[in-house]
Structure 1
Amino acid sequence: MHFKWNYEEPTPELEKSAKELADKLSISPILAKLLIHRGITTESAAKRFFRPQLSDLINPFLMKDMDIAVDRLNDAMGRKERIMVYGDYDVDGCTAVALVYKFLQQFYSNIDYYIPDRYDEGYGVSKKGIDFAHETGVKLIIILDCGIKAIQEIEYAKNLGIDFIICDHHVPDDVMPPAVAILNPKRPDDPFPFKHLCGCGVGFKFMQAFAKNNNIPFSRLIPLLDFCAVSIAADIVPVVDENRILAFHGLKLLNTNPSIGLKAIIDICGLNGRELSMSDIVFKLGPRINASGRMENGKESVDLLVERDFGQALKMAKHINEYNEQRKDIDKQMTEEANLIVSRLETQKHNSSIVLYDEGWKKGVIGIVASRLTEIYFRPTVVLTRDGDLATGSARSVTGFDVYSAIKSCRDLLINFGGHTYACGLTMKWENVKEFRDRFHQYVAEHIAPEQTEAMLNIDAMIDFKDITKQLHSDLKKFSPFGPCNSKPVFCTQNVYDYGTSKVVGREQEHIKLELVDSKSSTVMNGIAFGQSAAARYIKSRRSFDIAYTIEDNIFKKNQVQLQIEAIRPND
């Protein structure tokens, strides 16, 4: 990918503030500047950032309807009513269901969980799920990571004598379902100060409130924080404030004493003995938890996440790993087909967005294909497939563009839609697809800024190789966990040269393993540039070039760093 490099030269005022903050914290001014860019300007704020405390979690009762939700749950337990924990089939939904079910099961036995079938029931609350709840005597459903738009379904359940507590984080409509309580920080009337919780995060706040109300020690919730870290990473929510606290402590748990189900997934990923990061969740753990919902039924993932026997969990993890292998094959084929269509369309007309549809594409994989196309072409993308008389699809967006609003502008063509700024799901009649495509293209063209359709690489700091010390690397680790709004810092070093030993590697000779020097020191830096072998000839010509990179642990050489090179820019 050809990036446009973006770097803002620090002002004298910023340099002065960074120097003062660096002195107070005993860190490099380079890192102090990174803190200031994140809005952290005082010593106390920096200490809270570097050492997030569970005691700083927001009071859950500040969330609208939380007191009502806790009272209804207490009543259900007091009356020995059957409770169902119901959730979406993606990572966020499955971890949320596992968290709430595992916590409540310690105190109450008349409880079960339910994940709808993507192919048979579709997204969210289904009539089939409600009928099953009714047949099994359920009186209260706690729904997680969906439900905020299920007006008719929850009305139907109410008529059957079933109450709902909704724990969702998707954008609500003007009219909300007739649930007993709706926990959603994105409600316009919700005073909860942090708006970016994931579905599992909302479920955690509900359990935190339930524990507080019933004098259950907070320590009983700590073993569930690894679920929060997995959902925060996989659902790509901002890793700041409340999410940063939950992710920080959840990641620590994941690396020291993960729940049995997650330990089994870590085993089959081959990640044992390695310090896990948010990237490992996004690229390794998350896809496997997602795989059963994409290929068959997401309930299998929850079965694994709540399993108590490690031997059994390992068998289950191997099974969902097989689903993931199948998913990869289908994903690759569909992405190739989609790429061919886009390439053909590009020769006719360049649009600011992409809308593709194919009757044969697998419903469980279209979201991944939409994500891949967004990354390749850097444009908001909708991918649709056919389901009987309906088209069902997934939308993904680029940085700074609200795809939810774009979908909402076409709502008269839609049967259902939901999501947030960067990801949405939608359903419409198949006959409406072409009109939807034209109107979506028009909306995006009118509202997207030109720079939002460019692959932008934001440089956090210009440094020399002599700046990359063990201390800098150690302090840099304190910025983790990384994610949206706290991305891994990207550095740039200008005028570097091949030391003479760089070479092309990889099965298809697609990567470059680099050994580099700059003009300011004799330090030789190791680096890897994935998928950038096209730059090898220039590099071997011994001419100078600029690199943009992140600083990583060298997994092959202990206590050494390696540069993960995001982009190479020849000087001429």
Structure 2
Amino acid sequence: MVEVVERKHPQHALQNSGLHPVLQRIYAARGVRENAELELSLKHLLPWYDMAGIQQAVDYLLPVVTEQRSLLIVGDFDVDGATSTAVAIRALRMLGATRLDYLVPNRFDFGYGLTPELVAVAVERRPDLILTVDNGIAAVAGVAAANAAGIPVVVTDHHLPGGELPAAAAIVNPNQHGCRFASKAACGCTVVFYVMLALRARLQEMGYFRTEAPNLAVLLDLVALATVADVVPLDRNNRILVEQGLRRIRAGRAVVGIPALLQVAGRNAARAVSTDFGFVVGPRLNAAGRLDDMSIGIECLLTDDPLLALEMATQLDEFNRDRRGIEAAMSADAERFLKGWQQQNLPTGLCLFHPEWHQGVIGILASRIKEKVHRPVIAFASGDRDELKGSARSIAGLHMRDALDLVDKRYPGLMRKFGGHAMAAGMTLNPGCFEPFRAAFDEVCRELLNADQLQQRIEVDGELTADDMALELAEQLRWAGPWGQGFPEPVFVGEFRIVQQKLVGERHLKMVLEPLGSGRVFDAIWFNIDPSVWPRPEIQQARMVFQLEINEFRGRQSVQLLIRQLPDF
């Protein structure tokens, strides 16, 4: 069963703020102590000059603008990589550069990042400089290959450094040792955006612009998308970036690719919120990198032609539909594996492999299984030369990259390479190493996690009265974000009488609920239930975890409870 825990909050915080009492406790539980912290204007952004290595990066990028040197941007095949590439190209064009090109490794041919094999492709394009975005901090061999070819490399990245740094011309990464930049949660797109701010500042100092310097804030819709889609914690700096980007989208000033992606998903850009990045735009962009090539996603973000953007967004939507079908089949395989274990006998660190699984979808599969069993999960697919490609997802209490590093130190030779974050990572296993790696990973996880950390919990923001379940509060909650990792969307708990329940579509349960003793009823929806279990007419009362939302139908708005969990079932 799932344990429901109410988020703690200081009772005195924000009492004189003028906010709705429910909003007061929501913000207080997320560490907000005064109204000033909710001010998300650009003037509160952290300064670019605190980033280590940024001046050296500008030294190398300056001739790309002033002397029209050629630049090759090497990105990544996820949303952060695609937006980072688009931000770099758009910003440099605004600053006056003309000889720009980009190269994104196809995950099936080259794998992740600036590898020596990718450098060989880059050399054919004869760039004067390589700029990595959202990768490069682990590219020791790749940077060495570029140096040997006489091409300097500027690395911009946010991933955690390993024991050895690449011999790059400059490294900009807030997580490198000695960097004073306070937001260690910056995504890759934010890092390159800050580099572009520094480059513009240098050009201004030189008197380069004959008129007013370009306003790079026009790129914040891309930065906002990357920040949410890459699931980095929303500290205050990131919340400013996301809020400012959302305001541009809602005002109709976004790059045309973003509203096009919202349109194909049936969403209204004028009412866009941060969750639309994570659940609507992000998956469609990611689908290109998972199933095909991320170039179409990048081009969708680079074009200024609305019709072309819509055409590419439609193709990305089709990729996403294909991805869902592949994921469903893989999830069915994984469920069969899980049935082979009793829940109490599951490994602490769970490794799953099927020879027919798709490399591009194992990350999503690992995430889905992790949510189901609440323990670290690595899903593997077949790679080249009998290697296995793995994608890992973790839970609170286990730093995934550190855990893999410990496995590698104890059992060298199992992994050919690995890298990542606290909550997600990727790795390549050498041939024949799955079983010993599975045992080693479980051993490390058993040491690092205790039984309490393996207890699945859902944090809630307390209960709501029937009077609170009103359009006014639902509307305030919608715009009170941006919500995301580390600043979660509000969820509540309550006891309800189930007045009606019926299946709609194939996997959605529509209900009419009465908060106990209130005499009032509310519509509710629970998406993606197990139709072999629900509806259950014999269940007439239940404790439910839910979100307060607004349902819009034919121009009419009404309160709807979005059910997230029935913890006792």
Residue number in structure 1 paired with 2:547: 550
Q: What's the counterpart of residue 85 of structure 1?
A: 73
Q: Which residue of 2 is the match for residue 442 of structure 1? A: 443
Which is worse superposed, 300-309 or 469-478? 469-478
Tell me by how many angstroms 1:470 deviates.
4.3
Question: Which residue matches 1:239?
Answer: 234
Query: Distance between the aligned counterparts of 1:443 and 1:491, measured in 2?
Result: 35
Match of 2:4 in 1: 5
* 1:132 positional shift: 2.9
Instruction: Please report the TM-score for the alignment, with normalisation by the length of structure 2.
Output: 0.92
For residues 352 and 44 of structure 1, the distance between their equivalents in structure 2, rounded to whole angstroms, comes to 43
Q: Aligned partners of 1:172, 1:486: CA distance in 2, in Å?
A: 26
1:35-434 equivalences under 5 Å are 35-45=27-37, 49=38, 51-106=39-94, 107-215=96-204, 220-257=215-252, 258-272=254-268, 275-346=271-342, 349-387=345-383, 388-411=385-408, 412=412, 413-434=414-435
Q: Deviations over 1:454-499 (max 9, x none)?
A: 32111212231123344433433343111111101111234x324x
> Residue 493 of structure 1: SS of its match in structure 2?
strand
Q: What is the alpha-carbon distance in structure 2 between the residues aligned to residue 300 and residue 569 of structure 1?
A: 42
Q: Greater shift after overlay, 250-259 or 164-173?
A: 250-259
Q: Which amino acid aligns with 2:102?
A: Y
Structure 1 pair 66–559 and aligned structure 2 pair: CA distance change class (3 A): same
Q: Distance in 1 between matches of 2:507 and 2:473?
A: 33
- Rounded Cα–Cα distance in structure 1 between residues aligned with 2:258 and 2:272: 12
CA–CA separation in structure 1 for the residues paired with 2:334 and 2:467 = 45
Matched with 2:506 is 508
Partner residue in 2 for 1:523: 520
SS in structure 1 of the partner of residue 128 of structure 2: strand
CA deviation vs aligned residue, 1:229-272 (integer Å, no higher than 9, x gap): 21111111112211101111112222232212222222222224
Q: Distance in 2 between matches of 1:539 and 1:242?
A: 49
Counterpart CA distance in 1 for 2:180 and 2:88 is 23
Deviation digits for residues 301-335 of structure 1 (CA, Å, limit 9, x no counterpart)? 11221112222222222222222222222211112
Q: Secondary structure at the match of 2:49?
A: helix
Offset of 1:289 from its aligned partner? 0.7
Q: Is 1:467–2:468 an aligned residue pair?
A: yes
More helix by proportion, 1 or 2?
1
The answer on whether the counterparts of 1:169 and 1:184 sit within 8 Å (CA) in structure 2 is: yes
Name the amino acid aligned to 2:559: V
Give the conservation status (yes or no) of the 8 Å contact 1:514–1:529: no
* Structure 1 residues 314 and 347, CA gap change in structure 2 (3 angstroms): closer
* Higher deviation after alignment, 222-231 or 531-540: 531-540
The one-letter code sitting in structure 1 at the alignment partner of 2:242 is A
Q: Secondary structure at the match of 1:442?
A: helix
CA contact (8 A) 2:115 2:141 kept: no
CA distance in 2, matches of 1:137, 1:353: 45
Equivalent-residue separation in structure 1 for 2:543 and 2:8 (angstroms): 16
Deviations 1:368-417, CA, capped at 9 Å, x for gaps:
11111111211111111222132211101123321111111122232211
Q: Which amino acid aligns with 1:172?
A: P
How far 1:163 moved relative to its partner?
Answer: 1.0
- CA apart distance, 1:174: 2.3
Q: Which runs of 5+ in 2 are unaligned?
A: none
Deviation at 1:348, TM superposition (A): 10
Deviations 1:164-199 (A, max 9, x none): 111111110121000111111111221111100111
Whichever residue aligns with residue 87 of structure 1, its letter is G
**Maintained 8 Å contact 2:87/2:189:** yes
In structure 2, C-alpha distance between the alignment counterparts of 1:510 and 1:68, rounded to whole Å: 54
Q: Return the letter of the residue paired with 1:396.
A: R
Could you tell which deviates more after superposition, 455-464 or 212-221?
Answer: 212-221
Distance 2:552 2:154 in 1: 46
Which of 15, 19, 25 is residue 27 of structure 1 equivalent to?
19
Give, in angstroms, the shift of residue 525 of structure 1.
2.4
Distance 1:409 1:570 in 2: 37
Deviation of the 1:53 alpha carbon:
0.8
Once the two structures are overlaid, the 10-residue window that deviates more, 398-407 or 524-533, is: 524-533
Which is worse superposed, 93-102 or 367-376? 367-376
Between the aligned residues of both structures, percent identity stands at 28
Does structure 2 conserve the Cα–Cα contact (< 8 Å) formed by 1:30 and 1:461? no
| Alpha-carbon distance in structure 1 between the residues aligned to 2:314 and 2:564 | 33
Superposed displacement of residue 508, structure 1: 3.5
On the 8 A contact 2:7/2:29 being kept in 1, the answer is no
Provide closer, same or farther for how the CA distance between residues 149 and 77 of structure 1 changes in structure 2, counting only shifts above 3 A.
same
- Map 1:488-507 → 2, pairs under 5 A: 488-494=489-495, 496-498=496-498, 500=499, 502-507=500-505
CA contact (8 A) 1:405 1:421 kept: yes
Contact 1:497 1:539 in 2 (8 A): no
- Report the secondary structure of 2:287's partner residue: helix
> Alpha carbons of 1:569 and 1:172: their partners in 2 closer, same or farther (altered >3 Å)?
closer
RMSD: 2.3
Contact conserved, 2:288 with 2:297, CA < 8 A, in 1?
Answer: yes
- Letter aligned with residue 385 of structure 1: A
CA distance in 2, matches of 1:537, 1:72: 65
Q: Report the alpha carbon displacement of residue 526 of structure 1 after superposing the two structures with TM.
A: 2.3
CA distance in 2, matches of 1:309, 1:37: 44
- Identify if the C-alpha distance between structure 1 residues 234 and 43 changes in structure 2 by more than 3 Å, giving closer, same or farther: closer
After superposition, the Cα gap between the structure-2 partners of 1:517 and 1:357, relative to the gap in structure 1 and judged at 3 Å, is: closer
Displacement, 1:444?
0.5
Q: 1:36 to 1:4 in 2, by over 3 A?
A: same
SS at match of 1:192: coil
Q: Structure 2 CA distance, aligned partners of 1:85 and 1:344?
A: 46
C-alpha distance in structure 2 between counterparts of 1:189 and 1:455, whole Å: 36
Instruction: Please tell me the residue identity of whatever aligns with 2:160.
Output: V
Cα deviation, residue 279, structure 1: 2.2
Distance in 2 (CA, whole Å) between partners of 1:322 and 1:508 is 20
Tell me: CA distance 1:322–1:546, structure 2 relative to 1, closer, same or farther (3 Å). Answer: closer
Cα distance in 2 for partners of 1:223, 1:150 equals 31
1:109-140 Cα distance to aligned partner (Å, 9 max, x none) = 11111111111111111334322332222011
What letter matches 2:334 in structure 1?
A
Change (3 A) 1:479 1:33: same
Secondary structure of the 1:454 match is coil
